[in-house]
Amino acid sequence: MRDEINLRAYGKINLGLDVTGKRPDGYHEVRMIMQNVSLYDSVQIRMRRAPGIGMQTNLPFLPTGPDNLACRAAKLLMDEFGIEDGLSISLYKKIPVSAGMAGGSSDAAAVLVGVNRMFRLGLSKRELMERGVKLGADVPYCIMRGTALAEGIGEQLTPVPSMPECHLLLAKPPVSVSTKFVYGNLKADSLPFHPDIDGILDGLERGDLAGIASCLGNVLETVTIPAYPQIQDIKDRMKENGALAALMSGSGPTVFGIFTENGAAEKAGERIRSEGLARQIYTVRPFYMHRPVQRKYAHGMRGE
């Protein structure tokens, strides 16, 4: 058993996000391409003398009790395996909060991985992913990481070829978007367009960055942009300053732009900041996982 473990919880963007229907239980069926980026939260887990789970974070407005997804992740495994030792979780957030980048889900995924290692529980990645979906639909992907096709409610994952080398500009406007609001107002049966998910997959297969950029799309923008028009303003500024394409990630409001040159990405970020459209602005790159890739997308293998 280890006394301390340190992990990185990487953020994600959606290269494509389509909603194909709504299930009787209220969940939406999705088909989307997930891609980790190099922006990450730092998660430290330590043993402590006091029983239970303690938590600290650099953001004073975040809950640090049982409402925090990272605490719930630790409790899930500790309850299942009868762990009575106390744990302290220190979370240093860099991924914007409530931003469509799965920051909370990634933190929870890191805690599941960390507790599994600390107490030598022997759970495989697949077994951790099966537990992670109980916490949220994005948690299994955040355990698997890399580049993936997500289907079902987001928990059915197929690894796909990595995104080509590029520079990504992230910009979060100073608003928080409720995922519940977005999906609750989505007209899933009468969407005006569907993103070309297969086109993105083909671009990933060929390593064609321009081809990927030409197929980007997110149906959730049909709800979020009318409510928060600054999202469209940020997209426009990115494209005016050299982005191959720009898109809202997840349910928003973070926007990412794809650039071939870091200088152009930084210049676009400076313009967005100077106009007051966003304060949280980052220039990052795709985060890569070195693992074999399954090439059959329609009915491919699930995450290991």
Q: How far apart are CA 203 and CA 301, in angstroms?
A: 20
Nearest to 13 by CA among 38, 50, 41: 38
Instruction: Respond yes or no: is residue 12 known to be catalytic.
Output: yes
> At CA 37, angle to CA 263 and CA 232, rounded to 5?
65
User: Token pair of 144, please?
Assistant: 């698997």
Asked whether the beta carbons of 286 and 163 are under 8 A apart, the reply is yes
Contacts of 205 (CB under 8 A, 6+ apart): 160, 161, 295
Nearest-angstrom CA–CA distance, 249 and 18: 12
Which positions ≥6 away from 117 have C-beta within 8 Å? Answer: 2, 5
State how far Cα 111 lies from the chain centre.
16
Cα 245 to Cα 72: distance, rounded to the nearest angstrom? 37
Kindly name the residue from 18, 107, 138, 172 that is annotated as catalytic: 138
Length of the chain, in residues: 304
Question: What distance in Å separates the CA atoms of residue 160 and residue 282, rounded to the nearest whole number?
Answer: 25
Residue at token pair 């006394």? 3
Q: Is 283 left (phi over 0), alpha (psi -120 to 50) or beta?
A: beta
Task: Give the residue among 278, 275, 105, 268 at the shortest CA–CA distance from 175.
Answer: 278
Separation of alpha carbons 302 and 148, rounded Å: 10
Write down the residue that tokens 């989505």 correspond to. Answer: 186
Q: Which of 12, 93, 172, 235 is the catalytic position?
A: 12
Active site residues: 12, 138
